[in-house]
Amino acid sequence: MNIILVVQLFVNREEELRFLEERYGSMNAELVVVYGRRRIGKTELLARFIAGKPAVYFLADRRPERDLLQEFKVKMAQALRDESFSRLEVGGWLELFEEFLKWWGGERIVIVIDEFPTLIEGNKAVPSVFQKIWDLRLKDSRVMLVLLGSSVSMMETEVLGYRSPLYGRRTGQWKLQPLRFQCLGEFFPKYGEEDLVRVYGCLGGVPAYLLKFDPNIPFWENLATRILRKGEFLYGEAEFLLREELREPRFYSAILRAVALGASSFGEIAGSTGLEKTLLSKYLDVLEELGWVERLYPVGERIKPRKALYRIADPYMAFWFRYVFPNKSDLELNDIDPVLERIKRDYDAYLGAVYEQLFRESLRYVKNLPIRPKTVGRWWFKDQEIDAVALDEAQSSSAFFEVKWSNLKRMEAERIIQELKKKAQAFKWRRKKRREYFGLFAKRIEGKEEFSKRGYIILELKDILRKK
């Protein structure tokens, strides 16, 4: 096996590794699909998994198929420890696998094909070819075949989809998600609670991004030198992703900038970008498929397209289009200081929405709640909005929360709770049959114990940093 393992922090992938080890331990033929957005850590996960195991790792790229076949032969020859295998003449993928199994014998082995969608881009018949490989050669072997992909939409349609020739062949699948906020402290052990939120606001939970920050220097210095400085990876990453994933990046840039600057309804985005509505709808669908934009509906209500709101789901993209994209003229001249000062003045306002989303994502992991949330989301009706609503349908229980990126005095907290109770009266879900709870989430809350004794759910930033 010829794979270079980069020594880096490997955080919170125990569940994924356990899943892969279980598939490996079955000793049966396995066809496992692992996918997720770029930079999420798929390759590192598989590198950790195959370390010390008989394995073939192959990374597909956009070279001609003949060249890819030859490289795959070389990788297989390395696993066989027999260079002569690389000189075999084979007519295609099926014959390559046939020959390899003859040479390898019946031992357990893992074969990883990274960026499988790239093979499909070069040859649309690849899913059919690998269906034959599986049906005719691998399904009765002891091979564990792992297909990795960064193109989420292609993996879900061309590999996992009902119309795919590979449909029904997989024995396991895993969509790799960003790391939860609670993991950031392992990357930045010297950072305080609030700085961890600031990091999350510009990098999210993408391991490749988190590793670009230096844990030994202050947050603002990291931001200035690792995102705002021309030539840095995080300075150009957003534009790289746009060019790599999309055919018309300028239109998508306009949409992302509009949403990053506050446009949330379809009409607001259309007005801000000037795009014709049918085109805008198509572009928004593509951004949703990529996982960059999320379409939201009021929790607890029937889905009505007209009520949809949009947000940028990836914190790095949200930050980049709010602060880097509009300031490119200054940053291209390396005039960083005035841009940094503008960000500092606005960043707390920006973090308000980040903090709300972070809380909604974390709520189901908080211990000792009187409700076990099955559904968590925002709710809005006309001019009213509740930051977080948690529902337990089985128990007909609901919990309503206001979220504040600030420290709350006792009187202010009391006022917010009473206003929250009034707003909850307009929430229609099981209105006469539900059990209700009310709560606050802020950095710190004066009188926390007193409010808790009165039956309110009072959570501070330190409470959601505790791992389950």
Extents of the domains making up the chain: 14-175, 181-357, 366-464
What's the distance, CA 2 to chain centroid? Answer: 28
Closest CA to 245 of 333, 317, 190: 317
The Cβ of residue 384 has, within 10 Å, a number of other Cβ atoms equal to: 14
CB environment 221-258: b (16+ within 10 A), e (fewer): ebbbbbbbeeeeebbebbeebbeebbeebebbbbbbbb
Give the Cα separation of 89 and 264 in Å (integer): 57
Give the Cα separation of 303 and 300 in Å (integer): 9
Q: What is the pTM of this model?
A: 0.89
Q: Tell me the pLDDT tens digit for each residue of 56-86.
A: 999 999 999 999 999 999 999 999 999 999 9
Closest CA to 363 of 396, 388, 395, 337: 388
Q: Mean pLDDT across the stretch 120-129? A: 94
Q: Identify whether the C-beta of residue 182 lies closer than 8 Å to the C-beta of residue 69.
A: no
Over 60: is that where the pLDDT of 297 sits? yes
pLDDT band (50, 70, 90) for residue 10? low
Q: Who's near 370: CB < 8 A, 6+ residues apart?
A: 397, 399, 437, 457
Q: Who's near 343: CB < 8 A, 6+ residues apart?
A: 223, 323
Burial of 406 (0-12, 13-18, 19+ CB in 10 A): middle
Q: Is 23 helix (H, G, I), strand (E, B) or coil?
A: helix
Question: Look-up: residue for tokens 């202050």?
Answer: 218
Q: Mean pLDDT across the stretch 277-303? A: 91
Over 60: is that where the pLDDT of 8 sits? no
Taken as a whole, the chain contains a residue count of 468
Q: Who's near 55: CB < 8 A, 6+ residues apart?
A: 1, 79, 109, 110, 111, 112
Structure tokens at 202: 């510009």
Closest CA to 362 of 260, 264, 459: 459
pLDDT band (50, 70, 90) for residue 1? very low
> Which residue type does 443 have?
K
**CATH class belonging to 14-175:** alpha beta
Position 367 scores a pLDDT of 84
CATH T-level topology, domain 181-357: Arc Repressor Mutant, subunit A (1.10.10)
Position 152 scores a pLDDT of 86
pLDDT band (50, 70, 90) for residue 3? very low
Q: Who's near 271: CB < 8 A, 6+ residues apart?
A: 263
Position 14 scores a pLDDT of 87
The CATH architecture to which 366-464 belongs is 3-Layer(aba) Sandwich (3.40)
Q: Identify whether the C-beta of residue 456 lies closer than 8 Å to the C-beta of residue 438.
A: yes
Give the Cα separation of 209 and 225 in Å (integer): 13
Which residues is 288 bridged to in the sheet?
none
Position 465 scores a pLDDT of 82
pLDDT band (50, 70, 90) for residue 351? very high
> Which residue type does 182 have?
Q
